[in-house]
A and B are shown apart, each in its own frame.
Chain A
Amino acid sequence: MSVTLDIRLKRANKVYHEGEVVAGVILLVCKEALQHHGISLNMEGLVNLQLSSKSVGVFEAFYNSVKPIQLISSNVEVAKAGKVPAGKTEIPFEFPLNTKGNKVLYETYHGVFVNIQYTLRCDMKRSLLAKDLSRNCEFIVHCQPQKAKVVPTPVNFTITPDTLQNTRERTSLPKFLIRGHLDATNCVISQPLTGEVVVENSDVPIKSIELQLVRVETCGCAEGYARDATEIQNIQIAEGDVCHSLSIPIYMVFPRLFTCPTLETTNFKVEFEVNIVIVLHDDHLITENFPLKLCRV
């Protein structure tokens, strides 16, 4: 006997804000009437922290700090033990998205060491012989728009062999002059990162220019912390020996789920950076780093 259990949210994009109501239906489809021992629905918001392998060991002492942080949780009984009639049954539900106390609902974020996730979970208890049914459904929380106005402040940059740090043999570097600007480093998350880059001249042909979006996640507490930077995505904006002194647009859409407004709490931090990476034909790699501050308006 086949039964399907599903959770359907009213909003197609599944995006909710604090104070709103998460509404939807539990959908049950079965061929014949179905006996059950109760259906319950559970909503939970969790922050999962994980220590990178290189940090484990050093920080084992404060493992406490890495236990999941619960942001929101509530549970309702949808149906008491009984029967579900054959066919399609829809049970509507609503959850107000309110926190208890002074807790804040952080924005949904899927990272490597930090994960902020909100789920609905529907459980159907059944008799001993039949397996219990369960269904998960993630919904997305966007934090409240920031009140303060974001004033974009353009950031200019010039890259020459002389501006570089961390070079091994400065002398062997070919000559180049690359200029450009980012329209802003305090970015609105729903709008792309924009700017321009101009290769004024370069002795060695350019192979590629890329934008590398990096997340910097910090877990820890007063006793110590682990800070790790990992790449989210790498977007190529120029390929090959581009025309000199012609401005090339910088344009990158912030990926959903993998980015969130820059977040700083007592237990963890999520920050973002962008690297402008210039690869020369002789495989020299030139990187210019810009910390970003993401926000939602």
Chain B
Amino acid sequence: MVNVRVRTYPGLQQVLISFSHKHIMSLLLIHSPDGESNSASLHKCLCLLFFRVILRSRGRNYDTELQRCRPEAAPVEFGDYHPLKPIMVTDTKTRRGARKGSTSSSSSSSSSAPADPLSSMLDGTDPLSMFASEAPTISHSDLGRKRREKEEEAVGQDFEPWSSKRGEILARFTTTEKLSINLFMGSDKGKAPSPGSAVSEKVRTRLEELDDLEEGSQRELLNLSQQDYANRIEELNQSLKEAWASDQKVKALKIVIQCSKLLSDTSVIQFYPSKFVLITDILDTFGRLVYDRIWTMCSDPRPLPESFTVDDVNDTAKETCLNWFFKIASIRELLPRLYVEAAILKCNRFLNKSGIQETLPRLTAMIRGIGDPLVAAYTRAYLCRVGMEVAPQLKDSLNRNFFDLLGTFRQISGESVQNQLVQQRVEVPEYLTLYSPAINWILQCIAYRAPEPLLTEMMERCKKLGNNALLLNSVMRAFRPEFVAARATDFIGMIKDCDEAGFPKHLLFGSLGRSLACADPPESERLTILNEAWKVVTKVRSPQDYINCAEIWMEFTCRHFTKREVNTILADIIKHMTPDRAFEDAYPQLQSVIRKILTYLHDFSVLFAMERFLPFLDMFQKDSVRVEVCRSIMEVFIKHQVEHTRDPVILNAMLHICKTMHDSVNALTLEDEKRSLALLIIGFIRMVSFGRDFEQQLSFCVEARATFCNLEPVLVQVSQPHPFITIPSLSSIFSRLSLYLLSGQVALANQCLSQADAFLKAAVSILPEVPRSISVEGKLRSSESFLLDFINNFLATLLVVPDHPEHGVLYLVRGLLNMVQDYTWEDNSDAKVRVYVSALPLLAAMSQETYLYSIPKVDSNETLYGGDPKFLSEINKLSETLIGQILDHLKTLGRDESTRRQGALAFSLFGVLLAHGDLRNNKLSQLAINLWNLSHKHGYCETRVSVRTLEYIKHQALQPDMSHLTDTVQRLALQSRT
């Protein structure tokens, strides 16, 4: 019946003997074979302990028992039984990894089990994602999305998708001016044949439908703020989807046409890039809807394969598709026609193999008809975007678009554009920046996996246009950083040659800096580059422009230079940002500067020795930002500070930072927030060590305690030196109990016997205060199981605690048992008696000549009493009392008809007797047999357990000195199930 399982822990051999029964499980811990004992491993094993005995405990030789258990254990895998195993194992491993500072060791440990139960939950078995993956045909748009994702993969992960540009553009191109939307649903009137003609009825109705849908619903929305505008567009997006869903395809098309028409309106030109983003979202939606619809028309009987050909498409689908193209070809205005055809470019796949290949160049050429260069540039960007998504292999059109763009560049200085700028009061540099997103995107598409010569050619072409700064900027943004970095010096020269009046230079340097942050220029040029760049950056007048640029260059500086240069730049930033409190508007950038420094500088003594670092921190004057910055510093500190430190520079600075975090805690702070702050501060305190200089350590802890009085977990950390003072101030009773116990163990490990006594005594004395129920994660739960755990843990410690010379034998054990006796347990609970049962193994262990474990340099009772008969008889008396109590209780249970509990309890006592009692003693043997019978009397015993128990006893009987068990086992009858 005994299941023996062996598990190897680092530094600790643990043998677990479990009596598998519902109610009892006694565990036996044996120390690491090398006999070494330290307080840490002691703590770990103590908590698993239960002990046993009585009148007469049998003599034990723990070593031989361990040896005996081992080989048998081998075939049984611990892992396939213990539910906590994966967590326990990897937990230790990962923690070690983290301490060593390997940043990404999360689950790379050799264990096959996932690192953390939460992440393993997410590992595809998450019910939500499972649901999603199991439902392949929820809706067509979902299908479409999935397909789209797949195709984006065709482009490759290294291609920065449009979706990541969207937000940036929307955030950057804003306006406070009033916008207008002019939707003219009843347009294109002239197109319809004059009424009254002999057009067939059906055709007429269709034409009317085309025109009359929301006839006259010309809606001009004036005076819209930017947000209103975005909302309106989103509304249109919704109504597009609704129209589509309710089968009003014509209305859907109309919405799309009207929306794309808005793109020819360049009033409030500063907003144009954002408008483009908003409206092309609608176009994308439309393109997807059309594609998905035609795709589903072919998915009967089974879905079209991903790599379908024209032959797989049925005639109806082809006809529908063709209809769309005819309809779009007859759109009167150029811009909507272009955009809408581009939006459904992918549908060409249904019609013929070369459709996309033929359409792209045609649309590219058609864009030439757009007079406004900004509108044209964005149309090209959209076409490239669709092209990259649908047919990334067709590079020619991308190039063609770019060359056409270059060809029309002269228009920017033309009369029409200039008049427009004067009218709208927009400066040329600002106007030029409006082109950036479009040109960047086009160049990014071209540069994607492009051969070096092509890039060089593109660069040469830009040069020919007189080092046009706008183009130069886009080249730097879009081309591979390695390409730019290798020519950084050239680029600096080109930037210098640029016209001052045009594109802002700090933007050029910003773009260059961005490339250099990702790729390294030749080593010999680095310092020159930094000097040249900084010369320009430091001259930028507007603090906002300045910090945007400086923030970018910080990365380059941190990467390649020492604290000296970083410090210089910090000083420069402080100088620029302090006047007029300019820093108030630049917190995100300043935060990013800190982040970059922390990415590269992990040596905190160097970091804090940097003269300008703390003054830089002082610029964060908004509380929330300040705490966030401190937090990020702490995070890096905890991650990268490997060794304990006593460096006063670090300590001072970190204490200051921690104090800032701590002081942010107030009554409104959320629990989670508090917890995470506390964790960070604890992380710091743990890294502080003055070695053997306890005075210093103490004074540090005192200071810390004074500073961090608001965060209880931190108090727990710093309370170690003077627990007597701090522990009582904690509110959680179980924290107090376990801290007392831990403190007692630590004191023992350090041979401070009287302190240990005092701690344990204190723990015993507050036991009565434990409430019957406590709140666990917000729910009220019975404290009984926690208390039982604690007492078992406590009992295990008591084995090694030597008796106090001035108090009686087993003073603490008695004290504890008295408290248990007096405690008001729950009604109808066997908890008290279960404590008694658990105390028996302790008493048995205490009566051994050599104890199961001991603490080096601490003499336990084994040595103190040396097996004195008086001591042994005290133990026996105590055991007797306990057994008496237990038997009394068993009787009570019999009377109360609680026979199930009676059986369970009897069985657990039987187990204890069997494991720890000397059954050669007739009385004891008889008691054991009686208990066995009692436990089986009412049939609540699991037969399986009983059988296994018997097997175990038989097995034990084979051991030397245990032959008497043979008799016993013969007298143990299995309950017959009649």
Interface residues of A (CB under 8 A from B): 11-13, 48, 50, 110-113, 115, 117, 136, 138, 205-206, 209, 230-231, 233-243, 246-249, 251-253, 255-257
Cross-chain contact B330 with A235 (CB below 8 angstroms): yes
Report the separation of the CA atoms of residues A247 and B337 in the bound assembly, to the nearest whole angstrom: 19
A255 to chain B, nearest CB (A): 6
Report the separation of the CA atoms of residues A206 and B322 in the bound assembly, to the nearest whole angstrom: 33
Interface residues of B (CB under 8 A from A): 190-191, 193-194, 197-200, 202-203, 264, 314-316, 318-319, 322, 325-326, 329-330, 332-335, 337, 362, 365-366, 368-373, 375, 404, 407-408, 410-411, 414-416
B701 to chain A, nearest CB (A): 75
Cross-chain contact B197 with A243 (CB below 8 angstroms): no
Report the separation of the CA atoms of residues A48 and B368 in the bound assembly, to the nearest whole angstrom: 42
List B contacts of A230 (CB < 8 A). Answer: 193-194
Cross-chain contact A253 with B330 (CB below 8 angstroms): yes
B549 to chain A, nearest CB (A): 34
Cross-chain contact A113 with B368 (CB below 8 angstroms): no
B199 to chain A, nearest CB (A): 6
List A contacts of B371 (CB < 8 A). Answer: 205-206, 238-243
Nearest B residue to A253, CB-CB: B329
List A contacts of B407 (CB < 8 A). Answer: 243, 246
Cross-chain contact B370 with A234 (CB below 8 angstroms): no
List B contacts of A248 (CB < 8 A). Answer: 365-366, 368-369
8 residue pairs, one from A and one from B, having the closest CB atoms = A240-B371, A12-B315, A238-B369, A253-B329, A241-B416, A241-B371, A12-B319, A236-B334
Cross-chain contact A236 with B330 (CB below 8 angstroms): no
Nearest A residue to B415, CB-CB: A205
B865 to chain A, nearest CB (A): 101
B259 to chain A, nearest CB (A): 16
B547 to chain A, nearest CB (A): 38
List B contacts of A113 (CB < 8 A). Answer: 197-198
Cross-chain contact B368 with A242 (CB below 8 angstroms): yes
List A contacts of B414 (CB < 8 A). Answer: 241
List A contacts of B368 (CB < 8 A). Answer: 238, 242-243, 246-249
List B contacts of A138 (CB < 8 A). Answer: 200, 202
Known: A205-B416, A206-B371, A251-B366. Contact between A235 and B203, CB under 8 A? no
List B contacts of A236 (CB < 8 A). Answer: 332-334, 337, 369
Cross-chain contact A234 with B372 (CB below 8 angstroms): no
Report the separation of the CA atoms of residues A248 and B365 in the bound assembly, to the nearest whole angstrom: 7
Contact of A256 among B197, B202, B326, B369 (CB under 8 A): B326
Task: Output the residue of A243, A252, A253, A255 with the most chain B CB within 10 A.
Answer: A243
Report the separation of the CA atoms of residues A195 and B190 in the bound assembly, to the nearest whole angstrom: 25
Cross-chain contact B334 with A239 (CB below 8 angstroms): yes
Nearest B residue to A12, CB-CB: B315
Known: A233-B330, A237-B366, A241-B414. Contact between A50 and B315, CB under 8 A? no
Task: Output the residue of B200, B314, B414, B415 with the most chain A CB within 10 A.
Answer: B200
Known: A205-B415, A255-B330. Contact between A243 and B200, CB under 8 A? no
Contact of B198 among A13, A48, A235, A242 (CB under 8 A): A48
Nearest A residue to B370, CB-CB: A239
Cross-chain contact B326 with A255 (CB below 8 angstroms): yes
Task: Output the residue of A205, A236, A240, A253 with the most chain B CB within 10 A.
Answer: A240
Cross-chain contact A12 with B318 (CB below 8 angstroms): yes
Cross-chain contact A242 with B315 (CB below 8 angstroms): no
Cross-chain contact B366 with A235 (CB below 8 angstroms): no
List A contacts of B315 (CB < 8 A). Answer: 11-13
Report the separation of the CA atoms of residues A205 and B371 in the bound assembly, to the nearest whole angstrom: 10
List A contacts of B333 (CB < 8 A). Answer: 236, 239
Nearest A residue to B368, CB-CB: A248
Contact of B194 among A12, A112, A115, A249 (CB under 8 A): A112
List A contacts of B200 (CB < 8 A). Answer: 110, 115, 117, 138
List A contacts of B330 (CB < 8 A). Answer: 233, 235, 253, 255
A–B Cβ pairs within 8 angstroms, 12 of them: A11-B315, A112-B199, A115-B197, A230-B193, A230-B194, A231-B191, A236-B332, A236-B337, A239-B333, A246-B408, A253-B326, A257-B203
List B contacts of A110 (CB < 8 A). Answer: 193, 199-200, 203
Contact of B334 among A11, A13, A48, A237 (CB under 8 A): A237
Cross-chain contact A233 with B191 (CB below 8 angstroms): yes
Nearest A residue to B372, CB-CB: A240
List B contacts of A206 (CB < 8 A). Answer: 371
List B contacts of A241 (CB < 8 A). Answer: 371-372, 411, 414-416
Cross-chain contact A234 with B366 (CB below 8 angstroms): no
Cross-chain contact B194 with A239 (CB below 8 angstroms): no
Known: A241-B371, A241-B414. Contact between A235 and B332, CB under 8 A? yes
A215 to chain B, nearest CB (A): 9
Given contacts A110-B203, A243-B410, 20 further A-B contacts (CB under 8 A): A12-B314, A12-B319, A50-B197, A110-B193, A115-B197, A205-B371, A205-B415, A235-B332, A236-B337, A238-B334, A239-B370, A240-B264, A240-B371, A243-B371, A243-B411, A246-B407, A246-B408, A249-B368, A253-B326, A256-B326
Nearest B residue to A15, CB-CB: B319
A274 to chain B, nearest CB (A): 14
List B contacts of A235 (CB < 8 A). Answer: 330, 332, 337
List A contacts of B415 (CB < 8 A). Answer: 205, 241
Report the separation of the CA atoms of residues A136 and B200 in the bound assembly, to the nearest whole angstrom: 11
A242 to chain B, nearest CB (A): 5
Cross-chain contact A240 with B362 (CB below 8 angstroms): no
Report the separation of the CA atoms of residues A171 and B11 in the bound assembly, to the nearest whole angstrom: 106
Report the separation of the CA atoms of residues A48 and B365 in the bound assembly, to the nearest whole angstrom: 41
Cross-chain contact B369 with A234 (CB below 8 angstroms): no
Cross-chain contact A231 with B326 (CB below 8 angstroms): no
List A contacts of B370 (CB < 8 A). Answer: 238-240, 242
Report the separation of the CA atoms of residues A280 and B315 in the bound assembly, to the nearest whole angstrom: 45
Report the separation of the CA atoms of residues A48 and B197 in the bound assembly, to the nearest whole angstrom: 10
A237 to chain B, nearest CB (A): 5
Report the separation of the CA atoms of residues A255 and B373 in the bound assembly, to the nearest whole angstrom: 31
B841 to chain A, nearest CB (A): 83
Cross-chain contact B326 with A240 (CB below 8 angstroms): no
Nearest A residue to B317, CB-CB: A12
Report the separation of the CA atoms of residues A246 and B406 in the bound assembly, to the nearest whole angstrom: 12
Report the separation of the CA atoms of residues A239 and B371 in the bound assembly, to the nearest whole angstrom: 6
Cross-chain contact A209 with B369 (CB below 8 angstroms): yes
Report the separation of the CA atoms of residues A253 and B335 in the bound assembly, to the nearest whole angstrom: 16
Task: Output the residue of B194, B329, B337, B410 with the most chain A CB within 10 A.
Answer: B329
List A contacts of B373 (CB < 8 A). Answer: 243
Nearest B residue to A136, CB-CB: B202
Report the separation of the CA atoms of residues A253 and B359 in the bound assembly, to the nearest whole angstrom: 13
Report the separation of the CA atoms of residues A241 and B236 in the bound assembly, to the nearest whole angstrom: 30
List B contacts of A136 (CB < 8 A). Answer: 202
List A contacts of B193 (CB < 8 A). Answer: 110-112, 230
List B contacts of A231 (CB < 8 A). Answer: 190-191
Report the separation of the CA atoms of residues A110 and B202 in the bound assembly, to the nearest whole angstrom: 12
Report the separation of the CA atoms of residues A84 and B408 in the bound assembly, to the nearest whole angstrom: 70
B373 to chain A, nearest CB (A): 8
Report the separation of the CA atoms of residues A237 and B331 in the bound assembly, to the nearest whole angstrom: 11
List B contacts of A247 (CB < 8 A). Answer: 368
List B contacts of A256 (CB < 8 A). Answer: 326
List A contacts of B332 (CB < 8 A). Answer: 233-236
Cross-chain contact B191 with A242 (CB below 8 angstroms): no
Nearest B residue to A49, CB-CB: B198
Task: Output the residue of B326, B333, B334, B337 with the most chain A CB within 10 A.
Answer: B334
List B contacts of A111 (CB < 8 A). Answer: 193, 197
Report the separation of the CA atoms of residues A206 and B319 in the bound assembly, to the nearest whole angstrom: 38
B371 to chain A, nearest CB (A): 2
B341 to chain A, nearest CB (A): 11
Report the separation of the CA atoms of residues A241 and B322 in the bound assembly, to the nearest whole angstrom: 33
List A contacts of B198 (CB < 8 A). Answer: 48, 50, 112-113, 115
List B contacts of A242 (CB < 8 A). Answer: 368-371
Nearest B residue to A137, CB-CB: B202
Nearest A residue to B409, CB-CB: A243
List A contacts of B337 (CB < 8 A). Answer: 235-236
List A contacts of B410 (CB < 8 A). Answer: 243
